[in-house]
Chain A
Amino acid sequence: MTQNRPWIPYLLILPSVVFLGLLFIVPLVQTIWLAVSEDGAPSLANMQRMVTDINFMQSVRNTFLLTIVVVPVQIAIALAMGTMVAKIGRGRETILWIWTIPLGISDLAAGLVWLSILQNSGYFNSLLFSLGVISRQASWLSYQTPVALFIAIAVAEIWRGTAIVMVIIVAGLNQVPKEFKEAAEIFGAGPWTRFWKITLPLIRPALQSALILRTVLAFEVFAVVYALGGRNFPVLVGEAYNWQNQNQNYSVAAAYAVLIMVISLAATLVYLKAFKVDPERLP
């Protein structure tokens, strides 16, 4: 069917190629050029301004710390969810639906949800108060309590972002043939051995794409931070936003954007290399 009219597939993909060219490739090049030029000539002035900014080191550190803490916890919870749900028959659909609800929740909404719990007269303080841990309202989200603020943001991110990892991992687990598990059981492998030696290697592709997706998103963290801590907790995208909207300096904002892109690309390449998926070992 392809011989007589070979142009058909090209016609079908053309609109999306043009679209992505105009709104993905062009802005990508523009961002890079904005970041490394000044008045139309190549220059590292913007990079320099970014690096010497008072919030720069802090935002780099905060973003990396958040990613390092949040992503592994999300993967662990998602794996736990996946293995738990595989063991039950009735009620499986409902439980999966409940666990996927955060998939539809934006980072801004997640921040606001946890703000209602962690604000001074919120539910968390009420709980601590009734347990006798604190005697009056404690504040967790101010610049004086950076560690508590960090934990609050991490919890909100874990709460929201685990659903997507869970969906990818459950989709991966569904593709593992039952026979593998049964064979391992016959040969006497315990549940722990089965998990590490059978399940985990077989869902490597799913793990890889979950890790790439989540890590790229984690470096983009912004609204959840803003909702919980305002500007008390600088992160990379937040700085880009401030340079763009408050300072109206598009070039330094672009420099931040380039930095975030480089980090995201580097993380993706690391995952691709670390999880080299051998097609012959797939089910």
Chain B
Amino acid sequence: MARDLDIHSDRPVLELERVTKTFRAGRPILRGVSFSMRRGEFVFVTGPSGAGKSTLLRLLYRADEPDEGHLYFCGREIGRLREESVPFFRRNLGIVFQDFRNLVDRSVTENVAIALEVTDMPARTIRTRVEETLVAVGLGGRGGEEVRGLSGGEQQRVAIARALVTEPVLLLADEPTGNLDPQLAMDMVGLFEDLHARGTTVLFATHDRSLLAARPHRVLALEDGVVREMRPGPGPGEKAAPVVRLPNDSELRIAGTSRLPH
């Protein structure tokens, strides 16, 4: 699958066309959702609990299929993948959840290495990659520790390391700060931004709008099953400038962008 994907061209990493998903008849959770994401973008998807953020992400990693519409990942339609191709497609994604989904009776290294062990990668390469990734998420030298002994923030770092260790084309984060206190949540967003600054494309779903403040990223709001662009991000080749939050304004506004120097 990875070889079939056009992951180096300029085409969007992600494209959704009029995607609809219904669990209860007459009450679609997603209604004709359309948007696209460029390589290297950081996009927030926000909306209240139950707005369909997790459903949207589940469609993206093919845990569910849309009732209508199309989802394309690097030009390839996700819904048309054969069942046996889905695992290979998912190896292009890194996914982080609110509940961490760590194996708490195993070591940090084992929890991260599991993402590479499903491939044919040699054990020595896996060890090296895991160590490098743990350093990147601030857990350098702690690979031997059992996960159950770590704090919530550290456990989420383990989950992020696992999502990153495969060097995914796209990092999907489903409420990754939901189980963390506000300060840790801000730190975690900072970690995602660091990873983004190193070139990772990030789609970050959160209901917590306080996290979006002063973050110069594109924001998509999901309400009543419809997505609307709440704030555009910087254009291609542009560096995001800080967002200024206006007094008494709960909505976020664009402060502007500046072109990167050549």
Q: Do A and B come from one complex?
A: no
- Which A residues lie at the B interface, using CB under 8 A? none
- Which B residues lie at the A interface, using CB under 8 A? none
